Amino acid sequence: MKKTYAGQVYLDWRLKMTKRLIILLILCVFIFSGMLVSGCANNAQTYGLVGGVGGVLIGAVTGGTGGAVVGACIGGGGGYIIGNEENKQ
């Protein structure tokens, strides 16, 4: 069995969290820059983008990479549906 010190375990935990934070920040920059460059033509697209970003952030924090993908799909789809209904009114 490999011997580990409490300091090493704590450092490993901090490195993992730091990597996750950096990935999330890079992801946010790409998403928001994409929103600024492309723009959104109607409420359905705007709400879909906002829902997707929210889903990615919540999913990545709670479930890692797989959670981010599922969160983006659910958030984007839900946001698009809400925006589409708002466009009809």
Is 61 part of any domain?
A: yes
Is 48 part of any domain?
A: yes
Is 78 part of any domain?
A: yes
Q: Give the residue numbers spanning the domain of 56.
A: 6-88
Helix (H) or strand (E) holding 27: helix 6-38
Is 1 part of any domain?
A: no
Is 45 part of any domain?
A: yes
Is 73 part of any domain?
A: yes
Contact residues for 51 (Cβ-Cβ < 8 A; gap 6+)? 75, 76, 77, 78, 79, 80, 82
pLDDT in tens, 12-69: 767 777 777 777 777 777 777 766 666 667 778 888 888 888 888 888 778 777 788 8
Domain count, the chain: 1
What pLDDT score does 79 carry?
87
Task: Evaluate if residue 8 carries a pLDDT over 70.
Answer: no
